[in-house]
Structure 1
Amino acid sequence: MSAASRISLIYLLLASAWIWLSDSFVHLLPWPQGWEFQVQSFKGELFVVLTGVLLFWLIRKEEHRQHDLQAELRETRTRLEHIVDASTAVVYAFEQKSADAKLSLCYISANIERLSGYLPDYLYKNQAIYWERLHPDDQRLVKSAIKRAIQEVSGFTLQYRWLHKDGRYRWIEDRSSASRNPQTGLIELAGNWRDITQMKQDQLTLEVAEERWRFAIDGSNLGLWDWNVPEGTAFFSARWKSMLGFDENEIGNQVSEWSLRVHPDDLPAVNAAVQSMLTTPQELHAHEVRLRCKNGDYKWTLTQGKVVERNERGEPIRVIGTQTDLTDIKQREAALDLHAGVFMNNMEGIVICDANVRIKSVNQAFTDITGYPAEEAIGQPPSILNSGRQDAAFYKEMWRQIKENGRWQGEIWNRRKNGEIFAEWLTINVDHASDGSVRHYYAIFSDITQRKAAEEKIRHIIQHDTLTNLPNQSLLRDRLGLALAHAKRSQEALAVLFMDMDRFKLINDSLGPTAGDALLVEVAQRLKNSVRQQDTVSRQGGDEFTLLLPEVDAGAAAHVAQKLLKCLSEPYQISGQQLVVSPSIGIAVYPTDGQEVDTLLQASDMAMYRAKSDGGNAFRFHTADMQQQVNKTLRVENDLRKALRDNELLLHYQPQISFTTGRVVGCEALVRWQHPELGLVPPGDFIPVAEDSGLIAPIGDWVLRTATQQCRTWQKAGLTDLVMAINVSTVQFRQEDFAQSVQNALEAAGLEARFLEVEITESVMADNPERAIRTIRQLHDLGVQLSIDDFGTGYSSFSYLKRFKIHKIKIDQSFIRDLHTEGNSASIAEAIISMGHSLGLSVIAEGVETANHAQWLAAHRCDEAQGYLYARPMPALQFVAWIGSPVATEGAIMATTN
């Protein structure tokens, strides 16, 4: 009832009561005449006053009540607004202004700013923004839901995306309800919006996590189970069932489906593990168990489980876990155990290296063979076993084959930890990854040292004479074949000596085979002691021997034969008796007497029979011409020995002229031989024989002593500035005491060292650089000058010039002779002069025979000259006379004229 109705009703009741009661009261009382009218008037006035007061009181009371209601309403509304603002949900209301009008926003809570970024006033003024910022993909859904709600006067709940003021979409949950205004009949739509963006993101994250988990489970091939402990039921995944060979609908949900399939031998351990899992909080338990499959076979599985839910008393309610098929793992473990057993117990050494060729694993046989325990070998390169017997080229070829073929096999020599060298048969294989890169190297080897020793012993027996232990005919033929191949490649000579002992049959018949055998053993020993290490001494049978001498020409072979004749003809002490035998030796030389094995052996055999037919105790060549040449060489050698003894050698001196001053600054001492019958023998006829026979060293010593004495004699006679140059052979220079010999010669002659110049060839330096440096340093310390003879004809001169203390270089006469006919010769001579000067060396040219030679050399600043243009080599007295003659003056003029 409204306030106006209540007031009107009260007024009606009170007014009616007043009139009825007051009228009754007036009529009951006796009023004086005329008073009744006045009383009625008073009563009416009083009624008006009383009703006015009553109306004032009633209206005032109603106003107070309305005021209290409005205040309470405001307080309630404020409280509700605070609640709405504090809430994450935004409250809204839409209404129709007319029957055909669209819904318009009539209320929205202040917390809309958090949801949209816009203030309420902005949204009231820009109501179209709701549809503008609605996601395009969600607009049809929202419009359809609102339309249906209006038509059916119903509600809806939607989730859609709305564009926040910051440019990012928010997920909105819209719960709305439509109603019809009872007074106007128009539709009103009220509801709330809630930001569910985080919930959507969490949901998406959860879905991704679940998908990952599902993918991981499926990928890991795990079976899942979920056990309800109080009910005794369990969920088994499809994979769990298929693991045992069952279809998805073949196994129920009783936990006994699992427990009854446990292998009897595993059951006690399984029960203990389950009990431990149920009583131990927050721990994952795992155990291996065999489960019976559908076909009756047992399969190894790994079961893992954990209690995930307990009641208030701590009793387990729910247990979840996984089951893994261990069949392949168990098979691989068995295979690995088998392989490990094979690996460790193999009698052959096995090494596994990584891609960087570092040892990763070795077996016991490796340790037994090499002496290296695994802990010392692992991490090391296999090269710790290298013996040094194979050179770098061997290993380079081995790795080439490994890289190209993925495999190498062969024999190799290695070194044990104790230093002992052993032979092994090695096989290396490469393990490649799918991309072709190297993962491992596998090496298997066996110690074949004893086998090789046995094979070598057998080979030695097969290839050697049992009596003398010399190579037999078979081994000789093999070595001769190899020597011939080398000689053909290097264009060198070699000699074969076939030898038969004279009178051996007589000794063997008279003294018996025992004495004969003892004699042959002694002959074999003398033969081995008389030849070089690279030579082969072979017994052909009976009293016949064959010698193979590589890199030996006819002259050297004759020397060896002479040596053998002498040593084999010495008396033998056999069975208490002194015996004398001599050999007959036949010589065949490659390539003159043959170029094949059989040809050379036959030639030496024929030559031996010629020596025997000539009386024995001699050697013969296969060809007469060679025999004559060798005989001549031997005669020269014998005569040369006599010449040294009888002082038949002499020195000639060739002057050396300075291009700067035109004066004679020195001379070169050149040895000559005055033979009593043949006259003056040219150096080319006896120097090679001296070098082959070893006489060059004593001849060099004689030249050194004689030249220093002659130089000192000339100084006493007034030739005080001459420098004496002598040639030193390679043999003489290699002598350990050569520098001391020079010092002794200088001291004996009383000659200062600066007046002696030692000429050496480039081959002296290249042959043994360290020894050459040592000797040159000793000579330099004495004060002796050094020069390089025949410069430009060697291959190492430029590199060694930096290391040797050289004073002068001599341009070889071959370049001087061709100065004006061969362009390269002039270029080489010019380069030698320029290089010598840049190194601070003096340069002399030999073989200067024409004025054009001298002019060219002077123009290119050569320091000195020597040659027939000035003078030929001459004896000492003639040399002195030449220096004071007009001829010497003319030579000086030619040397200084450009």
Structure 2
Amino acid sequence: MSYIRSSRLTLFSWLVLAGGLVLSPLAALTMTRAEEARAVAEFAARADRISQGLKDRLAGHGLVLRSAAALFDASDLVTEQDWHRFVERLQGGPALSGLDSLGFARFVREPERHAHGAWLKRNNIQAHTIIPSGKREAYGYVLYSSTLNGTGRMAPGLDLLTIPAYSAAMARAEHTGKTSLSGRAGPDEDTGPEPLTMMFKPAYVQGELLGWVFAAASPGGLVKPMLEADLHRQAPWTTLRIYDGNTPAAGKLIYQHGTAHRPGTAFLQQRFIDFNGHQWLLEFDHLNPAAVISHQQSLLVLGGGLGMSILLFLLLRSALTSRARAEALAEQLSNEMSAREGRYSRLQSRFDNIAARVSGMLFEYRLEPSGRSTFPYASDGIRQLFGLAPEQARDNAAAMFDAIHPDDVEATAETMLSSARTLTPWHHTFRVNGADGQPRWLLGDALPRREADGATSWFGIIYDITGRKQAEQALKAAHSQSRHFRAALDQVSSFIYMKDTRFRYIYANRAALEQFGCNGTTLKGCMDEQFFAPATARALRESDSRVLAGEPCSEEVEIIGKDGRRTVFMDVKTPIFDDAEHREIVGLLGIRTDITLLKNSEQQLRQQAHFDPLTRLHNRVLLSDRLRQAMTQARRHEQSVAVVYLDLDGFKTINDTHGHAAGDKLLMAVAGRMKEVIREGDTLARVGGDEFVAILLDLADTQHCTPLLERLLQAAARPVNVDGLRLQVTASLGVTFYPQPEELDPDQLLRQADQAMYQAKLAGKNRYHLFDAERDRSVRTHHESLEHIRHALHNGEFVLYYQPKVNMRTGRVVGAEALIRWQHPQKGLLTPYHFLPAIEEHTLSIELGNWVIDAALQQIREWQARGLKLVVSVNLGARQLRQENFVEQLRQLLGHYPDIDPAWLELEILETSTLGDLAQISERLRQCRELGLGVSLDDFGTGYSSLTYLKQLPAGTVKVDQSFVRDILEDPEDLTILDGVISLARAFGRQVIAEGVETVKHGDMLLRIGCELAQGYGIARPMPAAELPGWVARWCPAPHWASLPRAERDMLPLLYAVIEHLAWVEAIAEALHQPGSPWPSLDAEQCRFGTWYRHCPGDTRERLGSLAALHRQLHQQAGQLQQWQQQGEEQLARQGLDELRVLHRRLTDELELRLAPPSNIADLRPKLKTV
């Protein structure tokens, strides 16, 4: 049994050893994982702290931008110096920490760019070249930029709208009104060592976008100080990546701390920051987890477990009898160790979590009796508060006391010693010197405990209260400023008050309290109904409502007090907002100034300035205003306004005879009567001693004015009793109306009425006369035209153009007609049609005619000097020809050019100029012929063209008017008339020249009927004198003109038949293509050829039998076409038209053969259209 028991105990001892060897590593592994979880939790807490710090820093920069935007909103003009002063006030504090630059980008649209440049120059603001260059719809370029900690990449002139990432953020800020955060700029847009992140806040002036204030910072600059302050020794082993957005994409990486991207460890943490809708993703990781995971406890557990296992094994082996006691001891030791380790782990984890989330510094401070002081424990908060690492103060607290402000060191030490003596809590406020040189306020709070060795330990917290201190100081300053401001308002004589949103008074200065009859205490909660009459209170309530709705108000208010006294105030009110963002209205501020005396003075001045002191009628100033209003209303409502100028007849005699006093009384009486007869709304004004003007409104037409004018005449003519005298005057009225075809101003209307009034006086007085606007406009236009022509003549603006006259058969240039032109400075070259009619019956026509003759003689001299000899003809006007000294003036003009034979000058006399005294005109022309001048009768056929003119007028040439020549190819009647005129002129031995030859065919026809001289556009257009010699040298007539014979007179009817049938065929084509057009006569016996053929001798008719048969066939085909159209056979009719044209061509060819000698009539036929 003993052996068995021993064996069992031996086996048990080996099992214990084996169990210890297995369980000890498992226990160590469990401790290792617990330590790793603690390290990860601590790392996560640090990630939370850094993320929150970055979020707070972005929010702080947002407040800076809001202050900068408020600077522009509150100022009419912010210069570059103003901007830099603003930035300097912020520098040195934590507000700008981490920023690269702070600036302002100006918004300018392309159409406003020039005006913006002028604005910069006007306000002495430096202009910058916008980069990049080029025209765009709008620009958002950097106007002001202050470099803070960076390289100043936001240079003035840089157009931020050209960078998509910045442009999107600027648009988002403008849309939301909030501060926006930009995305990452492209590599071509931001060439710095680290990409910049931009923050934008829109700046407005009077509701219009002025631009954006912006802050530029690198993410590294924002987060690196927090990394260094929080992670200290772990910083080299910590990696931080910041992505723009909520996904860790490589293209969105904007900052990286530590090594490049690698697979994440168990320490990988992600945190999101949302800034006004724009997100950043922060990824934290640890590169060396082993550096922060302690294996000491797990090794102790492993070593202890193995040691205990071996010890137990040895004990069991050495003392089998003490097995139970050894087992119990081992179990007890194991349980105590596990419990102690669990409690330590939990306490350590809790304390680390608490310390990490406390914004200040948790500490244990020990003061030994010897005076030596240490910090056995200090949380990482010591770094931010004192700039020290916990290790630096662990063995000696002197370094921390060195950081305390010199003025606060003694007081801090005193409070610590007092707390140590009395063991009372330590609670003390003191300052430390910050890293930026600015003092920061700290508050310490700790509980003391006496140690066994006599030392005193404190356990507590120190945290930063700088913000709270600054707020307390600002509040104290604001309270003091408010007290001084209220004292100053009490010295103002205006009534200043404030109300809440329920119309209750919450403040009033001393002047307002005296008006209300109460003090500041009793005023609060009162309303206007308690101080003013009901009507006044209602009016004030209405304006208050508008102000509380956000609309500032400035108006005159008449206040009736409780005593019934009326006072006029200028009441200016504006809403009061709860903050600078103007999001909520919390009340209103009003300033009420008594302007009663001012209003009374204005009323007196207005009365003196606008009313006649004698008659109390409107004076000239108020009349002008009323007349302008009446004219505006007349245009708007399409009605008429009558302006009546009235002058009293005989008033001067009464004034001189009975004195000014009697005259004044008469004026007042007549003015009162006239005021009574005009309608309400009409105006009567006195504009002079006995002159008045009435404005009569809303007249449907001018006829409605007549009864009013009659009543004014009657009112003015009624007798007036003045001091026993019976005085009487009458009135002369001049009337004009508005609107008129031409736009007028009030002074022009008054002048028109004044002119009409004088016409009424000239017509016998005591009547009215209506102004004739049309006649006045015509006269003015005529006078203006005369002045312009006279000015042009004196300034040498008139020139002569020359149109050649030729013999079409021989090709010789026989002369040129001088035609006047006006080289107008604005309108260009003007023909005589634009200016000669205006001076036709004016003496200016004589002056211009003499200039033409002189200019023509001078041109003849110049041409002859160059070897060109041409007869130049000039046109004489009727008035110039009829003047008594015409021949003498002509002789003087010729005397200026003794080297020129007068025969080279020809006078063209219009046929209509000779109407009247034919004998006188004939004598003058005869005298002209005696001077050696040629004379021709121009435009023959347009006047009376009697045989007497041809017989008596000594004209060697007759010019046939172009109206007879132009249509000879289409109208046989014109050809007949032209043939008759030419025959008549030849009968009297006159040379004939045809005007209006526009084509070669015109020349053909003229040569056929025996007219060889011609001029017209078909030969040459009028040209400057310098061009005529070259034209003469180049001129060649149509080649066939030289051999084209004149037609035999007895065969001319065939020529007429060609022209007639051409027009006849075209008329039929028009009737077919345009339904409703009249058909020409289709009777073959009624046309010109049919009539002529019917009266021909028998032998001629026999010789022309085939021609007559073709003629009848042509008319029969036309009748068939008409029948087809009437039957609706449009297709047949159009096909038959082609056959009609073929027959007409055969008839024309046959006529050519019959004419003797052979002619060129075929060339006269225009090309016909084929349907």
Report the TM-score, using the length of structure 1 for normalisation.
0.37
Largest Rg, 1 or 2 = 1
